[in-house]
């Protein structure tokens, strides 16, 4: 009786290191890390006509946890924000690295860093952990949004260290379903208020009875005033 492919891989050790390719050309530890990301809480990012925003589900359901201690939208610099999906402790290391890179650039060049430079450096770090032995990959997808001059930008870096620029994107739980709805309903000329409304509608449709505005955190950066504005819970409804 032939063994299933997954069992063959385990028996032959292809899933025991991030640096060993399976006969089918897969890095199994990296693929396992990608599955971890899809178990993480969701975030939606969107480039709009007047700026860019990230709406993140904090997914804090335990009433004993102080909600403010579970931050999903992180400030990298005045004009750059980020959210993550996956292992939060892994994400913290990368977020702190990104913050240091932004500050070093400001001190060295006396100018704000471009969002793509930050996401590129973080992606390089993530790639290294798929290339060298003795360490596992970062179990994190990272979404980064910011303003570069008069242009709003959105990037997403996956587990492998690849990154792309997006007009709208989602990471975390149900990301495929969210992306499908974004492809149907997103329009490039949307204002931030319209985009936030669309993102909330998508979350409400997917979460059903579990939807609660108190679970969400919103970070906005406007083109005309590129500084982070952060909203939580009921504050989001006022927008």
47 contact partners, CB below 8 Å, separation of at least 6:
145, 152, 153, 154, 166, 167, 168, 188
Tell me if 137 sits within 8 A of 18, measured CB to CB. yes
Whole-angstrom Cα distance, residue 141 to residue 5?
27
Residues of the chain with pLDDT under 70: 1-19
| Predicted local distance difference test score (pLDDT) of residue 100 | 97
What are 174's two structure tokens?
Answer: 């149900």
- Smallest Cα–Cα separation from 53: which of 44, 41, 40? 44
| Predicted local distance difference test score (pLDDT) of residue 5 | 57
Residue 237 host element (H or E): helix 235-238
What are 34's two structure tokens?
Answer: 């990608």
111 contact partners, CB below 8 Å, separation of at least 6:
105
| Predicted local distance difference test score (pLDDT) of residue 3 | 45
Residue tagged 């208020």 (tokens): 193
Sheet containing 163-165: order of strands: 74-77, 80-86, 140-148, 151-157, 163-165
| Predicted local distance difference test score (pLDDT) of residue 10 | 53
Query: What's the predicted TM-score (pTM) here?
Result: 0.89
The correct CATH number of 45-238 out of 3.30.70.330, 3.10.580.10, 2.30.110.10, 3.60.20.10 is 3.60.20.10
In the chain, % of residues over pLDDT 70: 92
| Predicted local distance difference test score (pLDDT) of residue 120 | 97
Q: 3-class DSSP state for residue 14?
A: coil
Whole-angstrom Cα distance, residue 154 to residue 93?
21
Q: Could you give the angle at which helices 115-128 and 88-109 cross, rounded to 10 degrees? A: 130
Tell me if 51 sits within 8 A of 223, measured CB to CB. yes
């Amino acid at each position: 009786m032939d063994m299933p492919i997954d069992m063959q891989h385990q028996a032959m050790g292809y899933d025991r290191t991030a640096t060993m390719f399976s006969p089918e050309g897969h890095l199994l530890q990296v693929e396992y890390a990608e599955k971890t990301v899809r178990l993480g809480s969701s975030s939606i990012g969107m480039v709009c006509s007047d700026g860019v925003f990230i709406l993140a589900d904090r997914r804090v359901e335990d009433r004993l946890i102080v909600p403010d201690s579970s931050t999903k939208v992180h400030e990298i610099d005045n004009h750059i924000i980020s959210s993550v999906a996956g292992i939060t402790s892994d994400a913290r290391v990368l977020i702190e690295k990104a913050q240091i890179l932004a500050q070093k650039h400001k001190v060295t060049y006396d100018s704000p860093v471009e969002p793509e430079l930050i996401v590129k450096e973080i992606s390089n770090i993530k790639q290294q952990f798929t290339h060298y032995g003795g360490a596992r990959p970062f179990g994190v997808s990272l979404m980064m949004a910011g303003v570069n001059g008069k242009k709003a930008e959105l990037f997403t870096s996956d587990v492998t260290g690849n990154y792309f620029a997006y007009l709208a994107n989602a990471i975390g739980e149900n990301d495929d379903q969210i992306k499908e709805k974004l492809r149907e309903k997103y329009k490039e000329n949307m204002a931030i208020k319209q985009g936030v409304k669309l993102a909330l509608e998508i979350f409400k449709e997917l979460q059903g009875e579990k939807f609660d505005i108190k679970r969400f955190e919103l970070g906005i950066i406007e083109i005309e005033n590129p500084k982070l504005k952060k909203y939580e819970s009921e504050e989001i409804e006022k927008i």
